[in-house]
Chains A and B, each alone.
Chain A
Amino acid sequence: MAASAAAVAAPSVVSAQGGAARSLRVIPQANLTSVDPVWTTAVVTRNHAFMIYDQICAQDSKGEIKPQMAEGWTLSDDKLTWTFTLREGLAFHDGEKVLAKDAVASIKRWARRDPFMQVLIGNVAEVEAMDDRRFRFRLHRPVPLLTMALGQTQFPCFIMPERIASTDAFTQIRDTVGSGPFKFVPGEWNPGQRAVWAKNERYVPRQEAVDGLAGGRRPNIDRIEWTIITDPATSANAMMQGEQDYWEYPLHDLLPLMRRNREMVVEQRLLDGTYGVCRFNTLQPPFNNPAIRRAVAMAVDQRDYLRSVAGNDPDGWGVCEGVFTCGTTLANENGSEVLKTRNIERAKQALAAAGYNGEKVVLIAPGDYPQINALSLVTADILTRMGMNLEVVSTDWGTLVQRRASKEPVERGGWSIIHTTSSGQSLTLPVYHLFLRANAANAWFGWPDEPEIERLRGEWVQTGDPAESRRIAEQLNAKAMESMYYIPLGFYWQPSAWRRNVTGVFRAPATVFWNIGKA
């Protein structure tokens, strides 16, 4: 199997020893500051981890979970034991074989931090190695979502050697030995400037064609070099001059310039759009009043927000007036009529009827996050036009992240409204839908307390029936719209740009670099 896999990979690869190493020069979305994908949830760290680690199972382009390191898995008749078998020939970068005990240790470390697994873990009696290649989950109760948790993309379960995975989940690891298609080169890591990965010559990809994050992860390039360029104009110039090959997140304003260049390809690579979120602080006036929250929602026209971020081209964004990612199984607009009002005058009437008395509203806008800042300013304009007593606090993301944790009144450093963005991936299912949670003090900032939402969510986790799952999702949407503790602001596409000589680029739920080569 290893030999045939190598044969598949070989034709398109020029050996680093046989000549000048071929490098893919990439401008990543952000600086790689940490190499531990369990310790931090930063997307850039996750993208790095996809290169150096492998997963038990992974999402394909349709969102279905397929085996990756696993040869396959079985579920016992009583649905209380899942047994996974690892493929043969898997090895870590240091030459050690990948064993079931490594998978078990990695799952345990990851499970301590992953919110999805936190929901399921109460039903898990034990995760244990059975022999070198097999491990199992013994359950108290059936967990139909187990493979979905293991194969998720938001907070993936990456497999590390047991000696590394036994590190506390709240302590950062430095050792980057994995079993993925690329090896991290620590000696060339200069955070803020550059990070480098080399091809893992011994990697054994699956035989299937690449499909999302599933299928054969073939390392078709000798080196991948990330150069951190913080200035978008400089990034665009570097791409057009051929100093870089791939730009993960080009600024929307610069897309027309890039598209006019014949040497450039600008396409949507990520499978999901990026969703905007307007979040209310439900603990403090005036937004502790649901009627006032709904009044603001009546003034929202998602198109204004999306144009402010992604420009006037309607192909660059989409209206999505529900809480679940549009185009996915659970997407629905049950009860979303309030979002279709899109009328300032009616919103003003609703605001007066709700008993708004001129309470101060503090909106925090992060100036160093162009997209989130644009969303914030559109809301600020709406609130001003509605006649609310608004103070816009323009600050940086680091300050916002701290201030949003404050539950104090606005006069004592609190806040009323913040905005953020989320990958569509993270909003597809109730189990990891961060903004839908309404479990009071444990909910996301804004701390909505809606027991009915939590009850429905718990019900959804237990059900394995698609029709029932859909029914619950519709109830969740209706209840979320009634409470309106956050306003969905639609989604925009974030294209990537690459030089025309870059080959094998495919669509996936995350930015990954296997299968990609250079002509």
Chain B
Amino acid sequence: MFAYIVRRVLATIPVMAIVALFVFSLLYIAPGDPAAVIAGDQATPDDVERIRASLGLDRPYLVRFGAWVWDIANGDLGVSIFTNLPVSTMIQQRIEPTLSLMIVTLILAVSIAVPMGVMAAWRQGTWIDRAVMGFAVLGFSVPVFVVGYVLAYIFALELDWLPVQGYTPLSRGFWPWFENLILPSVALGSVYIALIARITRATMLEVLQQDYIRTARAKGLNQSGILFLHALKNAAVPIITVIGLGIALLIGGAVVTESVFAIPGLGRLTVDAILRRDYPVIQGVVLLFSFIYVLVNLAIDLAYTLFDPRIRY
């Protein structure tokens, strides 16, 4: 197992290298010029050229790529073209809100969606099943920002229970931190809940047809024991896979959610950087997201062994 983990961690290096090459190359060929944005309308072409030179944007592709890779190898993600702040500092400033949002959403989604899916499978064809599936369709169909606006209107503007926007760091207390995350997490989690609930239901329906379930029932095992100890454990592998894949969904959804609820996270940092063509920030954040995604996949692969003893690495 240890050797497997080491192999997988080492395997992230070429993956990250390919990601780095793609990110850098795509940004290089993408239209946009940060020097022109910085210089403003009044600048002469000479001014723009001088700014471009001062930022090193006039250097050849290979020189820039080589310098960037060398810096990354030395743990330096570079400096933002616009703010002149280190990219690592900007990421540090923004990572807590995004991680908070993703973790709360994940916990919320899993704790709601899995029981919903199990219940729908157990009561297949009943109103519970139809209600769960109806919710799932709704969750898939309604965009995150619409859910966000509706929630903000009801719970912040009309009922005045929760704040409209913003983020409070966890260091200032649990409740101030949590109250700012409730509406965004519910909004972001709606798609995720729908996805996990549907997969859980489908997998559970398949497992519940198995002989060993019939045997468990024949032995007189109670229903909750059958559902959660025997069936759910055997249905866990596809569910965990979907949860893991859904991390990418969360990252994408976080961009929209952070905008709607004015959460200063990595999603907004990425969008702002893209709109301004702040290349070092875009490259740094995309690399970070890729790294997180690779690690999540590794964690999921390892989690398989907990639920399916036949899987060994």
Contacts and interface: CB of A to CB of B under 8 A. Distances in A.
Given A397-B275, A402-B32, A230 B268 contact: yes
B264 A192 contact: yes
Interface centre among B54, B153, B167 (most CB of A within 10 A): B54
A192 B268 contact: yes
Given A234-B262, A241-B160, A241-B164, A170 B44 contact: no
A229 B44 CA distance: 32
Interface stretch (B79-87, B112-120, B187-195, B245-253): B79-87
Nearest to B275: A398
Given A402-B32, A403-B31, A41 B152 contact: no
B35 to A, nearest CB: 9
A238 B261 CA distance: 10
A429 B95 CA distance: 47
A356 interface: no
B176 to A, nearest CB: 13
B47 interface: yes
B36 A40 contact: no
Contact of A240 (B44, B157, B274): B157
Interface string A41-52: 110000000000
A399 B264 contact: no
A40 B38 contact: yes
A41 B262 contact: no
Interface stretch (A31-39, A281-289, A303-311, A495-503): A31-39
B169 to A, nearest CB: 11
B33 A405 contact: yes
A233 B152 CA distance: 10
A53 interface: no
Given A230-B262, A243-B163, A170 B50 contact: yes
B262 A227 contact: yes
B11 interface: no
Contacts of A194: 264
Interface string B78-106: 00101111000010011000000000000
A40 B55 CA distance: 14
Interface residues of A, number: 49
A34 B262 contact: no
B277 interface: yes
B211 interface: no
A156 B260 CA distance: 35
B295 interface: no
A397 B276 CA distance: 8
A237 interface: yes
B259 A434 contact: no
Contacts of B38: 34, 39-40
Contact of A34 (B32, B42, B82, B149): B82
Contacts of B164: 234, 237-238, 241, 243
A381 interface: no
Contacts of B47: 113, 170
A231 B32 contact: no
Contacts of A39: 38
B43 interface: yes
A249 interface: no
B296 interface: no
Contacts of B41: 41, 420, 422, 434, 444
A240 B160 CA distance: 11
Nearest to B37: A401
B264 A230 contact: no
B39 interface: yes
Interface in B25-53: 31-33, 36-45, 47-48, 50-51
A337 B187 CA distance: 55
B90 A191 contact: yes
Contact of B39 (A41, A172, A420): A41
B294 interface: no
14 contacts: A41-B40, A42-B40, A155-B42, A170-B47, A170-B50, A170-B51, A172-B84, A231-B259, A238-B164, A243-B164, A399-B32, A422-B41, A441-B45, A442-B44
Given A40-B40, A241-B157, 15 more contacts: A33-B83, A41-B41, A170-B47, A190-B94, A191-B82, A193-B94, A231-B260, A234-B260, A241-B164, A243-B164, A401-B33, A402-B36, A405-B48, A441-B45, A442-B44
3 nearest A-B residue pairs (beta carbon): A41-B40, A193-B264, A33-B82
